[in-house]
């Protein structure tokens, strides 16, 4: 109970609402964020028991935790877990994962040949305007990928997501907090235009990326007690979906992703980290995905890692077509929900 009081002290309702992008509702009278509301039915107010909310149109009332339960449809346990992670953000998992800002002297060397020996050295070239992303950008991405705002907010907090201009286009960038690997995609979902060297493409790998490093993997001290298992995925789209499905589940998964099915010979330091926890691979449902998962499994086993591979095969989208990758599960057929839930149990 003291823990919950501490959380409430750290992140009272108005701050919680601001942090999840609902700051405009942190008033005595505002439209309710829990239902389609054209009237100001919602109220946030302080009592002797702390902050409370109430929706006069029937969504109910309660404290910060009850708000999260209703907002995300969570169990009480999961709502507390989410609240705790928000209350301690960006140090939610006991650290601040922000990569150095562009323009730092460390980034001046971004064009230099990456030095493999330099642990933690900056290796990728981020765009000059790379930034963490404001609420609008996070919402745009969540909408584009059909995932929760919380999923992309968590990526931002853990340092695996940035925004910036890539090839002249506003883009979202998944990157490793250690700045080993990054790829960008357009924020409008369109393709990058052809250049002299590159064809039209949906993703643009940033120069200096080491593709054999799983993006999103955290150093051991930061994996800590918070992430018990690792979800190894393929591509930036599935990383976002991984956060959407995994965070807040009891599995305590950390999603990480390899940027392409052709990746082989995983980075030795990555293998070292992967050895510390069970790894579950969810490959794409195509021949390249199947080959990749077979190859990665072999590498993981020979490095002394343990885990399993689960398949999306047989699962359908709402329209009845088969799931091709984890991101497709954001449009999962309701009849396959139980089977899908097993994959992350």
Binding site for Zn ion (CB under 5 A): 32, 34-35, 55, 57, 59
Cα 274 from Cα 196, distance rounded (Å): 38
Q: Among residues 59 and 210, whose Cβ is nearest to Zn ion? A: 59
58 or 320: CB nearest Zn ion: 58
Q: Nearest approach, Cβ of 35 to Zn ion (angstroms)?
A: 4
Query: Which CB atom, from 35 or from 275, has the smaller least distance to Zn ion?
Result: 35
Q: Name which of 54 and 295 has its Cβ closer to Zn ion.
A: 54
Compute the least distance from the CB of residue 41 to Zn ion, in Å. 5
What is the layout of strands, in order, in the sheet containing 161-166? 161-166, 169-175, 182-186, 204-205
**Unique residue bearing structure tokens 């705002």:** 149
59 or 274: whose CB is closer to Zn ion?
59
3-state secondary structure of 137: helix
Q: How far is the CB of 208 from Zn ion (least distance, A)?
A: 48
Coil, strand or helix at 136? helix
Contacts of 232 (CB under 8 A, 6+ apart): 214, 256, 257, 258, 274, 279, 280, 281, 282, 296, 307
Q: What is the smallest separation between the CB atom of 248 and Zn ion, expressed in angstroms?
A: 22
In whole angstroms, how close is the CB of 190 to Zn ion at the nearest point? Answer: 36
Ramachandran quadrant class, 95 (left: phi over 0; alpha: psi -120 to 50; beta: rest): beta
């Amino acid at each position: 109970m003291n823990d919950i009081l501490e959380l409430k002290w750290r992140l009272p309702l108005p701050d919680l609402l601001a942090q999840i992008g609902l700051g405009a509702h942190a008033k005595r009278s505002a439209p309710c964020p829990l239902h389609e509301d054209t009237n100001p039915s919602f109220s946030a107010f302080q009592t002797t028991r702390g902050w409370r909310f109430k929706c006069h149109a029937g969504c109910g009332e309660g404290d910060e935790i009850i708000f999260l339960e209703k907002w995300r449809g969570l169990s009480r346990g999961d709502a507390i877990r989410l609240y705790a992670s928000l209350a301690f953000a960006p140090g939610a998992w006991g650290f601040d994962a922000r990569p150095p800002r562009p323009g730092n002297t460390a980034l001046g060397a971004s064009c230099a040949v990456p030095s493999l020996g330099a642990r933690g050295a900056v290796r990728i070239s981020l765009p000059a305007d790379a930034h963490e992303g404001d609420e609008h950008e996070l919402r745009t991405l969540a909408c584009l990928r059909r995932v929760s705002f919380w999923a992309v907010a968590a990526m931002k907090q853990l340092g695996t997501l940035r925004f910036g201009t890539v090839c002249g286009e506003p883009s979202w960038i998944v990157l490793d907090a250690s700045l080993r690997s990054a790829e960008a995609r357009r924020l409008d979902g369109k393709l990058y235009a052809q250049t002299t060297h590159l064809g039209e493409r949906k993703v643009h790998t940033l120069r200096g990326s080491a593709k054999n490093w799983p993006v999103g993997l955290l150093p051991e001290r930061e994996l800590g007690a918070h992430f018990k298992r690792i979800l190894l995925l393929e591509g930036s789209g599935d990383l976002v979906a991984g956060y959407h499905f995994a965070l807040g589940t009891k599995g305590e998964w950390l999603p990480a992703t390899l940027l392409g099915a052709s990746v082989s010979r995983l980075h030795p330091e990555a293998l070292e980290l992967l050895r510390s926890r069970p790894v579950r691979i969810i490959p794409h449902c195509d021949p390249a995905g199947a080959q990749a998962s077979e190859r990665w499994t072999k590498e993981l086993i020979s490095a002394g890692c343990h885990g399993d591979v689960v398949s999306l095969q047989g699962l359908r989208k709402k329209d009845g077509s088969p799931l091709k990758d984890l991101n497709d599960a954001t449009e999962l057929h309701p009849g396959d929900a139980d089977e899908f839930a097993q994959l992350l149990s």
